[in-house]
Amino acid sequence: MANTCRMPYLQLSLTCTESQQPRYERALEDVGALAVTLQDAHLNAADEQAIFEPGVGELPLWDEMTLTALFPIETDALLLLAALDAFDADLDWTSARFEKVEDQEWERAWLDTFQPMQFGTRTWIVPWSHDLPEGANSPDAAIIRLDPGLAFGSGTHPTTALCLRWLDDLAIRGQLQDKAVLDFGCGSGILALAALKLGAAQAVGVDNDPQAILATADNAQRNGVTIDTFLPADAPTSAASIVVANILATALDALAETLAARTAQGGRLAMSGILSGQEPALLERYAPWFDRLAIDQDGDWVRIDGVRNAVAVAA
């Protein structure tokens, strides 16, 4: 018999404009939102279609939208509003509405339209139940069979796509073969999986979300590879030749010393989850440890990558 027990959530809803949406979403994720969805504020309820993670190359946002975020049911709504206001006091949080809702598995609803996608020259992300597309039949294609589960990372979001293209480029230039990879903030494990399929020798995934640890382990098994997964407190401190961190800019700022220590001398680091305009501060923050810092941009999102200095410099 299927498990019909469903856990209720505290749902926050508010209306915002397209230009405000990235700031609202970043604040909600920073204070611990379990899921964030968007919908056209002017649609009738019967016509509502939520956006969970848009298709590659798509940005289906509207001039005005309703943004909905889920939190654990025990969350104190007033404390939550105080935390959001402290994170970004220039946004209007007074219009936020709260209600108790039952679990409807929003995070999985979009999988019906998840299609195979190519990143760079060799990398393909293919839903685990989908046939291989014609272009993925090349002998050197790196095929990642993916079920994101309830963790972030299907490849369709620009932050993930930026990292996938970076890994694909490293592989093309022979700089990923037989390397050790650390995926910090692994989510579904997509970046660690891509690195292994592109020739890396081993991969470690670290995430503070237990659901991400489960999703990464499941996807590793599905792809016939091994990814050692850890919560941050349990993660090994050894350095890796290749480090990817697809997390928020605030976390990247706080983790600068940690990520520098986890990147081997001469190794490479790529950071994403950075909104356009946030990169100057991070470039300055990471400059003591990394040379040849460069940026790549996809829409509103930025990736920073660089090479670890030969000599460690104190922050």
Cα distance from N-terminal residue to C-terminal residue, the chain: 56
- pLDDT recorded at residue 239: 96
Structural domains of the chain, ranges and CATH numbers in brackets? 9-109 (3.30.70), 114-308 (3.40.50.150)
| Cα–Cα dist 74/60, whole Å | 32
Q: Look up tokens 């020259």; give the residue.
A: 121
- Residue 146 three-state SS: strand
CB-CB contact of 20 with 62 (8 Å): no
Q: What is the 3-state secondary structure (H, E, C) of 271-290?
A: EEEEECCCHHHHHHHHCCCE
Supply the pLDDT for residue 107.
47
Nearest-angstrom CA–CA distance, 128 and 312: 42
Sequence-separated contacts (24+) of 85-94 with Cβ below 8 Å: 87/27, 87/30, 87/31, 88/23, 88/26, 88/27, 91/20, 91/23, 91/24, 91/27, 93/14
List CB contacts of 226: < 8 A, sequence separation 6 or more: 202, 203, 220
In the chain (315 residues long), the average pLDDT of successive 10-residue segments reads 60 88 89 82 43 40 77 86 87 86 57 72 80 76 71 65 95 96 92 96 92 86 94 94 91 94 97 90 97 93 94 51
Classify 157 as helix, strand or coil: coil
Residue-level pLDDT at 264:
97
Query: pTM of the predicted model, to two decimals?
Result: 0.68
Would you give the DSSP letter of residue 299? T
240-246 and 117-119 beta bridge pairing: unpaired
Alpha helix locations (H) across 2-76? 21-30
pLDDT value at residue 150: 42
